[in-house]
Structure 1
């Protein structure tokens, strides 16, 4: 009973019952209307036929009196058909006609009005229905002219039988609809529900089934699968962030604690130089932590589409020239080379500050990690080019690059491909660049620089914008 109750509460059953009820009601109304209209038309035709017969018999009566009328009625009565005739004398005795028995009350009302009566023919004792008119004649004679209703009743019987058959067809159609809905729709809904339960139980790799039909269930499943992929990526990203935060922040915090504890325990000099040195180092570690958390907050704001990121037209060629000019002296101080490569004045709609920060992060990464393995010198090129209708702001170095297997995770938060993690940094630079790219409906692409690494920030061009070569280092 529980399973039956659950089945009866399903939308499929409710829809099937609703469709069945609507079709049945509509069919019944239609057939009743057709039946009534047909009966009305047939009644009018019968009345017209009776009136035509009366007109012809009236002419016979006017020409030859009662004798001729009786002869005409007798002749017509012998012909096969549905027409009815009867002539009686003043005592109600039959003089001519094809009616054996009729109620005397019918003949008594000889006013010429159409009447529905029951009668018996000479051939058998069965009672029939008819529409008749009765008129009184001189000398107490009565004449009845009518037409049998068997054809009309037969037609109504055919309509009633058709209604019964149609109701059976409607019920079968309703059952077929329910079977289709239960086998296809409910099956897919149950599959979605089962998948959802497995996902809630912790299996984030599960996806809703898509059968490729392109119907509304496929569209819904595709959208939900995209959402699940995003949720899975965020959860795994959160796990990686948690692991890396525990590793990266635990080390400076431990150093700070040990340094302060050592300074308190071993500081014996009178001027407090040891304590001062410990505090300065502690401040540096605090600054590192603050920078790390500021970077995390900024990435979070950018990924959330922060309202303070106002969009304006930005000339990427000019932006690349400014960053190259700003970092060229710093590169020379470190013994590296930085130059502005061929650049196009491509205009995008974006936030200049965030795009500049993204380019700065790529440049600093290239100067830090893009050193040639033989010479130990970094050689960096900044440029802007157009590719496949998109603006590409790139930074290329001649270092060892990033293996193809590591490129996807390189932009995750706190991911540092340097196993020793001895170089300064928090592993958030590329994460911020990727967040800026997504905010601008673009993407960060890491590919082989042949040699080295080429980090490309691909952004959609502003409508109607095109680039011409202007800057060349």
Structure 2
């Protein structure tokens, strides 16, 4: 684990996690120790104090009712009863002991309760007792001190006091050791992410974050980041392919345009000059169309296109698109069959949607073959709408269906047809902008393109 710099040590996640871990560990340990002390020492001590206070009150009542002799008899009886050894001291107003089995007592009156040493010697052996004592002032000014042995509870208190020191030291050592181990574990995982990110930034797009195979949160994060890196690699590779394709696609028209302009400059024949000028203008128009299509796709994919999303009468839009392309179909002796459900509506940008459908119809007519049939259908599918355009051409082989939406990709058998190779790329971008799905399949005798739209779209 790489150590954070001094300047950023408090900004380090691992350091902060370690400190939080230490604080939580010590707090939980203190809470458990406090609960144990409360139930093992403090509460039993309070319980015994309450018992002794009740006894002192009863003895005070005996003195008031029966006099001093009755009190002395009660003290003698009390000394022989109870589950804990009983102690007492009856002191006259001048401080002399009238009767006592306590070896000593405080000069000042006991305010609430107090532990007094009540050790007793028996056959040369001293027995330790701790008398939990309370005091009552009798009517004649005498002091009555009574208590019960709580040596077992006092021993527990001493054990807890001694254990507290060791517990604090042990807990601190464990907390610090655990925090260091946790910090190193977290730090290693973070370092693996950081090092992979640095290698990716250095240009190694094939780098991936190593997985531990534990299925923990870091593994899930690593899997997510690896998928993101995969998408980035694919995107960069797509950009590289587009760059190569743009260079390849533009080389030929630019070369032809340069040759036409060069010939135009050197020829003096007016008819040839006119032909070359028209040819150069056509090449320039083709270049302009390629750049316009690329810019439009880029704007749509990046979300910079200002989409005018609104409720669109899809049935009417599709009918208008069919009518627009009908002359091209008739020129190829093709028929366009429509099966468009009435009343279809869709939240969409009508201009983008019309362009997508128009591109598909243009492809279907172009590749459908003379005398073929183009079928246009649209119907409600659940909460969404499905549009299908099928032709009677050669179709799109399965091996090329994932590639035909790439910029400038042309199926080898159709490379001779006029076009820029950007039509399906533009359609795919428009459909994605509407959160829809483009599917490529087979019809009865050709290609079938399906546009599937759900019931909610991101028009922002």
Taking structure 1 as the reference length, what is the TM-score of the superposition? 0.76
| Change in CA separation of 1:395 and 1:223 when aligned onto 2, cut-off 3 Å | same
Q: What residue in structure 1 maps to residue 340 of structure 2?
A: 343
Name structure 1 gaps, 5 residues minimum: 464-473
- TM-fit CA distance, 1:437: 0.5
SS of 2:297 mapped into structure 1: helix
Do the aligned residues in 1 keep the contact of 2:52 with 2:134 (CA within 8 Å)? no
Q: What residue in structure 1 maps to residue 57 of structure 2?
A: 51
Matches of 2:3 and 2:254 in 1, distance apart? Answer: 60
User: What do the CA deviations read for 1:130-155 (whole angstroms, capped 9, x no partner)?
Assistant: 425476899x9987544444254235
1:24 and 2:21 are equivalent in the alignment: no
Q: What residue in structure 1 maps to residue 418 of structure 2?
A: 424
Do the aligned residues in 2 keep the contact of 1:210 with 1:221 (CA within 8 Å)? no
| Change in CA separation of 1:177 and 1:317 when aligned onto 2, cut-off 3 Å | farther
Matches of 2:228 and 2:101 in 1, distance apart? Answer: 87
Matches of 1:88 and 1:460 in 2, distance apart? Answer: 97
1:228 and 2:229 are equivalent in the alignment: yes
RMSD: 4.4
Alignment of 1:2-401 (within 5 A): 9-10=14-15, 12-27=17-32, 30=35, 36=42, 38-56=44-62, 61-62=67-68, 65=69, 77=79, 81-86=84-89, 97-99=100-102, 101-102=103-104, 106=107, 117-123=116-122, 129-130=130-131, 131=133, 133=135, 145-157=146-158, 160=161, 189=190, 192-193=193-194, 195-197=196-198, 199-200=200-201, 201-204=203-206, 206=208, 209=211, 217=218, 220-221=221-222, 223-265=224-266, 267-269=267-269, 272-306=270-304, 308-333=306-331, 335-345=332-342, 346-371=344-369, 377-387=371-381, 390-401=384-395
Matches of 1:414 and 1:48 in 2, distance apart? Answer: 100
Name structure 2 gaps, 5 residues minimum: none
Matches of 2:433 and 2:111 in 1, distance apart? Answer: 94
Q: Which has the larger radius of gyration?
A: 1
- TM-fit CA distance, 1:96: 5.1
SS of 2:261 mapped into structure 1: helix
Of 43-52 and 435-444, deviating more is 43-52
| Change in CA separation of 1:73 and 1:306 when aligned onto 2, cut-off 3 Å | closer
User: What do the CA deviations read for 1:171-222 (whole angstroms, capped 9, x no partner)?
Assistant: 7985897699579866755554565455445234747759695x75566456
SS of 2:375 mapped into structure 1: strand
Q: What residue in structure 2 maps to residue 452 of structure 1?
A: 446
User: What do the CA deviations read for 1:367-420 (whole angstroms, capped 9, x no partner)?
Assistant: 22232xxxx554322222445654222221122111101111101111122368
- TM-fit CA distance, 1:357: 0.9
Matches of 1:262 and 1:316 in 2, distance apart? Answer: 50
Of 117-126 and 440-449, deviating more is 117-126
Do the aligned residues in 1 keep the contact of 2:49 with 2:113 (CA within 8 Å)? no
Taking structure 2 as the reference length, what is the TM-score of the superposition? 0.78
Q: What residue in structure 2 maps to residue 437 of structure 1?
A: 431
1:410 and 2:411 are equivalent in the alignment: no
User: What do the CA deviations read for 1:33-79 (whole angstroms, capped 9, x no partner)?
Assistant: 665555444333322223324444665645xx5xx766665565566
